[in-house]
């Protein structure tokens, strides 16, 4: 998604100023003599985000260099958390990247699964599957299940247009636009067994 540069500045203006201050300060002799290394946040773009844990809505600030996340911290301008983050919020960086205990390099988090997989009936392991094949297979299963179970009219002749055979669970982890798309897709398929974390 492309943000206009003006919009980007407006959204992250204060954060960007911080970066520039770091940049300037790193050029002074006093600082330069202390460390040969660049400041961690030099030449980064900063983006604001909202925490993925409790519904506090704390703001975070993400620093990106060459398309990769290099730092994540509390947004000091955010009126709720005023720059602070709890232990969970403060470690959100690790959702994507961790330090390899052997090489001390920052690497992709090896426990995260980033490819589509399928487990076939009776199998005791996963198989790789392409996105195209996964989508085609799921669409076929949804259609077959819906077609075999669809109730267009109930016993009283009332148009009801539902399938009792498909259920959908979840939504509180998604952004609101995604919640609407999930809901719209499920309801239009005729799914009534819809629930999410708000139920529990």
By CB under 8 A, the residues from 109 to 168 that bind other proteins are 109, 111-124, 126, 129, 131, 134-143, 145-147, 149-150, 152, 154, 156, 158-168
Q: Which stretch binds other proteins (CB under 8 A): 20-28, 31-39, 58-66?
A: 58-66
Q: How far is CA 188 from the centre of its chain?
A: 25
SS3 64: strand
**Residue 173: how many other CB atoms lie within 10 Å:** 10
Among 19, 22, 73, 171, binds other proteins (CB under 8 A): 171
The size of the interface with other proteins (CB under 8 A), counted in residues, is 129
CB of residue 39 to other proteins, shortest distance in Å: 19
85-114 positions binding other proteins, by CB under 8 A: 85-89, 91-92, 94-96, 98, 108-109, 111-114
The answer to whether 16 contacts other proteins (rule: CB under 8 A) is no
| Burial profile 105-136: b = 16 or more Cβ within 10 angstroms, e = fewer | eeeeeeeeeeeeeeeeeeeeeeeebeeeeeee
Identify the helix (H) or strand (E) that includes residue 183: helix 176-189
């Amino acid at each position: 998604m492309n943000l206009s540069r003006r919009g980007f500045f407006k959204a992250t203006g204060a954060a960007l100023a911080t970066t520039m201050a770091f940049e300037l300060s790193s050029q002074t002799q006093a600082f330069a003599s202390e460390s040969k290394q660049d400041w961690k946040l030099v030449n980064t773009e900063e983006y604001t985000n909202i925490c993925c844990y409790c519904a506090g809505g704390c703001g975070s600030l993400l620093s990106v260099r060459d398309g990769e996340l290099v730092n994540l911290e509390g947004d000091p301008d955010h009126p709720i958390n005023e720059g602070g983050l709890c232990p969970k919020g403060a470690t959100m960086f690790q959702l994507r990247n961790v330090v390899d205990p052997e090489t001390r390099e920052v690497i992709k988090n090896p426990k995260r699964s980033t490819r589509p997989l399928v487990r076939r009936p009776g199998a005791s392991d996963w198989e790789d599957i392409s996105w195209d094949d996964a989508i085609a297979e799921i669409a076929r299963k949804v259609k077959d299940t819906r077609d075999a179970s669809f109730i267009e009219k109930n016993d009283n002749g009332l148009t009801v247009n539902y399938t009792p055979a498909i259920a959908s669970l979840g939504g509180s982890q998604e952004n609101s636009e995604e919640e609407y798309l999930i809901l719209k897709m499920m309801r239009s398929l005729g799914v009534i067994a819809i629930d999410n974390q708000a139920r529990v």
